[in-house]
Structures are given as structure tokens and as C-alpha cells.
Amino acid sequence: MSRDMNSLNLSAPESYMTLAVREALGAPLPPSEGYPDRRYHSGRHIVNEIEELCWRRALETFDLSAETWGVNVQAFSGSLANLYTYTALLEPGDTLFHMDLSHGGHLSHGHQTSKRKVSESAFKFNAVAYHVNLETGIIDYDGLHELAQQHKPKIITVGGSSYSRLIDYETMRKIADDVGALLHCDMAHFCGLVAGRAIPSPFPHCHVVTTTTYKSFCGPKGAIIFYRSWMKDKINSTVFPRYQAARDYSVVLAISVALRQSQSSVYREQQRQVVEASRMLAASLIELGYTIVGGGTDTHMVIIDLRPRKIDAAVAEKALELINIICNQNSIPGDQGGNCSGLRLGTPPMVLRGMPLLAFNKAAVLIHQALEITHKIQAEMVPCQQTSACSRQSRRVRILEQFVAIAQKHSMIEDLKSQVAFIVSAHPPPWHERSS
């Protein structure tokens, strides 16, 4: 908590729960197996009401009809929600289309390298990756369509963890229909923006939608599967009893509270500001000479391409951490072999802390100054050669240790850290007043 208190938190997958959501997480509710129409223990009428309330609020939040859509709120995480969805709707070996991880996708969508399969969905299904246009950073819809006609996928997944542009759901649905595929959207990272009406909704065009309930949504860690009504038995029986047993219903209650809060005008205004802040941050960085993946952003994320600056992304991440700016290194289109050349920034935490939009211009300047110092320090560092006795990981650790040793002696690092502290002191995390 002290890290968060003193940091300019630009971690893209983070946000804050309200006090009401946090209190709901502490409710003394028993874990329960099954669904409201079929429990394996008696005396569960309260959790039945909570789960049914959560279903209704989930549908209300996204303007969905209960006749057309169903909801499952029992998955423990977004990655599991994706696995359950694929397992329910595919046969082993069926073809699954997903965005390549370095192009903005997610590990759980079937990620694999040239040497090995990584995610469980890659082991179970024939996972085929599609890509963005390397020049524009936008999904190559024509290339995807051609690839789909060749491979005939059963499911096409859109959405991911580091794609900051709007997705053309209408075009994706046309491609899916052309090859007889289901269209699945994983909106885990931008669920809050959809709920807040800050970006277009995937629901009019998708057959199934999965999401986490934290990240930009500002709820507890959990997940929701939205499915077309005809999928009900397949989805629900896959979640329970195939993979999971009892669910912690304090989490389901907290999700219900977060869903209700997401229907408010205050929430929608916050999500609008999140996007506006992200665009302002991107524009400021572009003005300072940085290349932004996709040419900008339409969401809560900004992805910096560090290759033109010849700055190591892991070192850049560490440099920003030293001055208490929190973000993460990220693979970007064109990266190979697990290398990361990008920095992923997100605006939800600081918007929720009340940081004004113009302060994101100052944040861009601080990032720029830290990266300028990083570039100079990199030039001073002794090259760390990889040998047969030195693994890639140990080499990376040695590089970071060398960088930190030099950076901690640099006077500008402490100066930038002080500037960050001054900015964030006026915008403490929302849990601060309650805990102080």
C-alpha cells in the first residue's frame, strides 16, 4: 500500500474498488456448489438471491435481454473463463483464431511459440494467430479474412491485453459468419470502458463475451461469461461441475455491487475521463518524439515503441520504477522470441485518484526525462554477453543490477522521484482516508 501511496500508478490492468465493494468482499457468506436452481447443500437461499441479482445486474449493465443472453459469474479468473468457453464450445483439436500475443492478444487465447505450446488452450485446440498491420498497428482485417478462409476456425477471438485501438466488431462478425465461426470477445482489459459507454460494445456482434471484473471495471477479482441463451447448458456444466466446485459468494456479492455502481453517471464520467487522459498522454508523448503503437489510443492504454530510441524495455521499466512511476514492459508487433520493446501505460488508477487531465501532460514529461537518463546510462554500461554458462534470464538480471547500481547514483533520479511525489501527494488512493 505504501508503494501505491507514493507512486504515479500507470499500471494498465489496475484500478481501485470502492469502499462498498471492499466491504461486500468481507460478507460472511458460505461457499456454495451448483446454481440457484440446483444446489448441493440446503440453506442456500441467500446465495441464490445474490447470484440471481448478479445475473440481472450484469445484463442491465450492458443493456442485454434475458431472453437472448445468459450469464455465468462463477469463474475464478478471466483466463479460466476463456478456457471454459473454449472447452464448452469446441471439440479437442478444433481451430481457434486469436490475436498474436505480441500484437496485442492474451496468453489464454492459445498462445504458443515456435518451440512450445504455452497456454492450456494451445494444448487442447489448434490455435492460429492473426496479426496487426505492422505499419499501422491496426488489425489486418483483410489478412485475417484470408487466413480464416484457409483454416476455417470454429471460434474467432477478439480483444486482448495490449491492443489500444477500437475493434471493428461488425467486420469481425462478417468474417466469422463467412467461415461459419462463433465470434468471441475477451473484453477483460476494457470492460469498464464498455460498461461506462466510453467505447463501442461488442455485444451486438458477438456470440459470447468474457471479462474479468477488476482491471478497468473497478470490481473484485473474478470473471463473467456472457453467452447466447442456446449455450446455457454447455457453458454452465463446463464451469461446474467439470472444472470448479464451490464459489466464494462474497466475491459474487462484490461483483453485484460493482455492477450496480457501473450503471451510475459518475462511473460513466470517470470512464470517459480515462479515455481522454489516455489520449492526452499519448499525444504528449508523440509531441516529445515517441512512437506510439497504433499511432495513438482509443482506450485506457498507451503503448510506447522504444525501438526508435534504442532503449531496452526492461531497463526502461526499472528506471521508471526507481522514480515511482509504475508501468510494465510489453511485447509489441515485430518482437520475436519473448523480447519486449514496448512500455504499456494505463490511466485508470490516476483518474480514479482524481488526477486532472492536464497533469497527464506532466506525467509524459517525467517519463521522457527518465527515459533520456536511461538512454545515457545504457551507453555507460558494460556489455553483458550471453554465454553457454549464462542463461538469458540471468543475463537480464545482471543487466538490471548494473543499471540500478549506476542509476541510484544519478542526481536526476532523485529529482524526478521528488517531482513524482509532489504530484501524487495531492491525489492519494481512494482507500487512504478510510485506512488513515
CA distances to 33, 58, 70, 242, 342 from 234, in Å: 17, 20, 12, 11, 39
Region of 295 (left: φ > 0; alpha: ψ -120 to 50; beta: rest) is left
- What does DSSP say about strands 155-158 and 182-186: parallel, antiparallel, or unpaired? parallel
Residue ranges, CATH 3.90.1150.10, the chain: 2-14+265-435
Residue 109: per-residue pLDDT: 86
For the question of whether the overall pTM of this predicted structure is more than 0.85, the answer is yes
Contacts of 48 (CB under 8 A, 6+ apart): 36, 39
Residue 304 three-state SS: strand
Tell me what percent of the chain is helix, strand and coil, each rounded to the nearest 5. Answer: 50, 15, 35
Q: What angle do CA 113, 146, 130 make, to 5 degrees?
A: 25
Residue ranges, CATH 3.40.640.10, the chain: 31-261
Q: Which CATH architecture has domain 2-14+265-435?
A: Alpha-Beta Complex (3.90)
Can the peptide bond before residue 241 be classed as cis, meaning omega within 30 degrees of 0?
A: yes
- What does DSSP say about strands 69-72 and 223-228: parallel, antiparallel, or unpaired? antiparallel
Contacts of 15 (CB under 8 A, 6+ apart): 192, 214, 215, 216, 217, 218, 348, 349, 352
One-letter amino acid at 423 equals: I
CATH numeric code, 31-261 = 3.40.640.10
Cβ atoms of 218 and 16 within 8 Å: the answer is: yes
User: Distance (Å, rounded) from C-alpha 137 to C-alpha 286?
Assistant: 15
Q: Which neighbouring-strand residues pair with 324? A: none
Per-position pLDDT tens, the chain of length 436: 667 788 999 999 999 999 999 999 999 998 999 999 888 888 788 999 999 999 999 999 999 999 999 999 999 999 999 999 999 999 999 999 999 989 989 888 888 887 888 989 999 999 999 999 999 999 999 999 999 999 999 999 999 999 999 999 999 999 999 999 999 999 999 999 999 999 999 999 999 999 999 999 999 999 999 999 999 999 999 999 999 999 999 999 999 999 999 999 999 999 999 999 999 999 999 999 999 999 999 999 999 999 999 999 999 999 999 999 999 999 999 998 778 999 999 999 999 999 999 999 999 999 999 999 999 998 888 776 655 445 666 777 888 888 888 888 888 999 999 999 999 999 998 865 544 4
One-letter amino acid at 185 equals: C
User: Distance (Å, rounded) from C-alpha 192 to C-alpha 269?
Assistant: 11
In b/e form, how buried is each residue of 345-382, taking b as 16+ CB within 10 angstroms?
bbbbbbbbbebeeebbbbbbebbbbbbebbbebbeeee
Residue 327 three-state SS: coil
Cβ atoms of 319 and 371 within 8 Å: the answer is: yes
Cβ atoms of 426 and 350 within 8 Å: the answer is: no
- What does DSSP say about strands 38-39 and 325-326: parallel, antiparallel, or unpaired? unpaired
